[in-house]
Structure 1
Amino acid sequence: MNMSRLIIDCDPGNGVPGANVDDAIALSYAAKCPELDLVSIWTVFGNTCSDQGWSSARRLLESLQESTIMVRRGADEPSCGGREHWIRNRRQAANDPQAPGQWRRNDPTRPKDASTGSTPATALAPAPPISSAHDLAQDLLATDKPTTVAAIGPLTNLSAVISKEPEAARRIGRIYVMGGALGFGDLVDTNFAVDPQAARTVLESGIPLTLVPLDVTRTTHLSQERWELLLGRADRTEAPWASDIDAWLAPWLHYSRRTRPVDGMWLHDLVAVAAASQPSLVRSETAEIAIAPNGKLHRADDSTLPAGSSQAVSVDLVTAVDNEALIDSWARVVLRE
């Protein structure tokens, strides 16, 4: 089988109170998908700090019994703007009276109650120092084979590699970006809002790019009921990690359906990774887009495009996703249904 060599640049939050877990759903799919050769995970400041993301990614891979995938701790602050607003938002979510009990009880990074007979969670080594753009570039330079990059967090790492390591950037065959919002009024999705300058750099890089905007990912939907059905059908022999996934997914479902206009959770990041392996799951079109200084995405011919926006960029714009087929594919790959 001809597998696509893949790097995922992300901000995972599995096991981090207050943090979305959609990165981990996408990572688990990529790690187990037979069409993808996931060689490295880069973590970046966004949904979590990069050290938390590094620990979350490492723990997820340990649970999935994947020992050969590199995890690099990337940028821990945006290239423009600050961190405090985003850290404050996550802390507020973690302290929401509707959620923290769930997170405390189910956080897989905490030792289990001795009365259950379970062993404590395996301790991880402290997070490593932050990897420079040069360090990250080594994952691209390790082979002459083109590498696909799925960028499902803020684009700080990828922007730095493109700007500072042009030879490595030339090894990127295509970038799949989960980010941007064309609709929803003035809403700027988190990935572009955290580091809008980085998003602009990546979009203007000239590297072939598939863009998966919030407009599409908000049409996805995993409900609590559907998750319980999937979990019940999981092959516990072939997928012994199913319970570990439930330990971090169930608390987020509990919180998301109480705080967002969705009965369960959106699967934002999974759409981008699945599109890289199964293009039939999505519909797309060639589109000319531009990004405003604050990260808001526009059609290039939009009369309301603000001054200082990027040049028009041609992208493969995902316009729809088959939610049921997406969930079924994830369950087959990860839960071995």
Structure 2
Amino acid sequence: MREKIIIDTDPGQDDAIAIFLALAAEDRLETLGVCAVAGNVPVVQTTANALRIMDVAGRRAPVYQGAEGPLVYELETAEFVCGPDGMDGAGLPGPVSVAEDGHAVDFIIRTLRAADDASITLCALGPLTNIALAFRLAADVKAKVKRIVVMGGAMNLGNITPAAEFNFYVDPHAASVVFNAGIPIVMMGLNITHKAICTHEQVARFAASETATGRSINGMLTRPRPASLGSVGHPVHDMCVIAYLLWPELFSGRDCDVQIDASDGPLRGRSTIDWNNRLKKPGNALVIDTIEPQTLFDRAIEKISILS
């Protein structure tokens, strides 16, 4: 049976590649919906980006527009990394398809309530605002979540501040709600996603597929980026979430207690991971620590090449 998933996302170049992989893996994954959230760019643009991704891939999953900003703080976006439209380099026109009526949070609640049991996996690629709102508005739906696979946090240094990874920094209160929801969580922090580097040779293989999707990925991964992000290759953070569902044998980690700092200061969004169990608390997340990137990209490139 295919695993039922909801993708919650703020596309974003690496979000786009994660969605492409999920759509290409329709033999393994049933994408019930794609929920846009404010993050890399405002939510109107992330919604448009999700639709653009569907259009170029030639596949269809319903897209819903979600939260316009974090639970407490003002929205901070990342155009300085991902470009004015969030998908700099993709070379895609505006969307042809349109978003579904209704709010993404209502879709999440409705879909989870309709599930027979804990059978739906939430794939969280952006700030966790939509998911936290769903849990706060309808606590009963938590029982229908099989697991949440999250790209967020960091075991060591952050990428938006010295302490914090971007997704958790944008909405730390939402991240705290989710990590304390009592649901199985798999955490893909920067410590692991910075090992998922798509090399220049691998990027060229996307282009060699001679598909619109491959050209789009090539453009996104070869666009000019801030010098501080390095030039060895391109980390594809969010793709790790979908890759974990398809090929869990390429990853390993450890159950840890993870707590998120929501304070308005230099530690905002910091994920404190008790890797060595110093606090003797039960783990609330499987924190991924190792990955086999070469095999991951070989498989992902082959899978995505079937898209238009």
Q: Deviations over 1:41-65 (max 9, x none)?
A: 1110101211211111112112222
What residue is the counterpart of 1:280 in the other structure? 249
The residue identity in structure 2 corresponding to 1:278 is W
What residue is the counterpart of 2:164 in the other structure? 188
Report if the CA contact (8 A) 2:4-2:31 is conserved: yes
Whether 1:250 and 2:219 are equivalent positions in the alignment is yes
How far the C-alpha of 1:313 sits from its partner, in A, is: 4.6
Instruction: Show structure 1 runs of 5+ residues with no match.
Output: 14-20, 96-101, 111-121, 237-241, 306-310
Whether 1:81 and 2:66 are equivalent positions in the alignment is no
How far the C-alpha of 1:9 sits from its partner, in A, is: 0.5
What residue is the counterpart of 1:45 in the other structure? 38
The residue identity in structure 2 corresponding to 1:212 is M
Higher alpha-carbon Rg: 1
SS of aligned partner of 1:210:
strand
Change (3 A) 1:227 1:45: same
Whether 1:160 and 2:115 are equivalent positions in the alignment is no
Report if the CA contact (8 A) 1:108-1:244 is conserved: no
Cα distance in 1 between the residues matched to 2:111 and 2:260: 28
**Normalising by the residue count of structure 1, what TM-score does the alignment of the two structures yield?**
0.79
Report if the CA contact (8 A) 2:47-2:64 is conserved: yes
The residue identity in structure 1 corresponding to 2:14 is D
Q: How does 1:1-337 map to 2 (within 5 A)?
A: 2-13=1-12, 21-33=13-25, 34-67=27-60, 69-83=61-75, 85-86=76-77, 89-90=78-79, 94=83, 103=88, 107-109=91-93, 123-125=96-98, 131=103, 133-145=105-117, 146-184=119-157, 186-232=162-208, 234=209, 242-247=211-216, 249-256=218-225, 258-293=227-262, 294-300=268-274, 313-336=283-306
CA-based RMSD of the aligned residues comes to: 2.9
Q: Deviations over 1:196-245 (max 9, x none)?
A: 0000000000011111111110111113332113432x2x5xxxxx2344
Cα distance in 2 between the residues matched to 1:132 and 1:6: 14
Count of aligned pairs between the two proteins: 295
Report if the CA contact (8 A) 1:41-1:70 is conserved: yes
**Normalising by the residue count of structure 2, what TM-score does the alignment of the two structures yield?**
0.86
Answer with 179-188 or 34-43: which moved more: 179-188
The residue identity in structure 1 corresponding to 2:270 is K
Cα distance in 1 between the residues matched to 2:126 and 2:144: 21
Cα distance in 1 between the residues matched to 2:57 and 2:17: 12
Cα distance in 2 between the residues matched to 1:32 and 1:81: 36
Cα distance in 2 between the residues matched to 1:301 and 1:259: 28
How far the C-alpha of 1:108 sits from its partner, in A, is: 1.3
How far the C-alpha of 1:248 sits from its partner, in A, is: 5.3
Identity of aligned residues (%): 23
Change (3 A) 1:94 1:151: closer
Answer with 145-154 or 135-144: which moved more: 135-144
Report if the CA contact (8 A) 1:136-1:161 is conserved: yes
SS of aligned partner of 2:123:
strand
How far the C-alpha of 1:262 sits from its partner, in A, is: 4.1
Answer with 248-257 or 52-61: which moved more: 248-257
How far the C-alpha of 1:183 sits from its partner, in A, is: 0.3
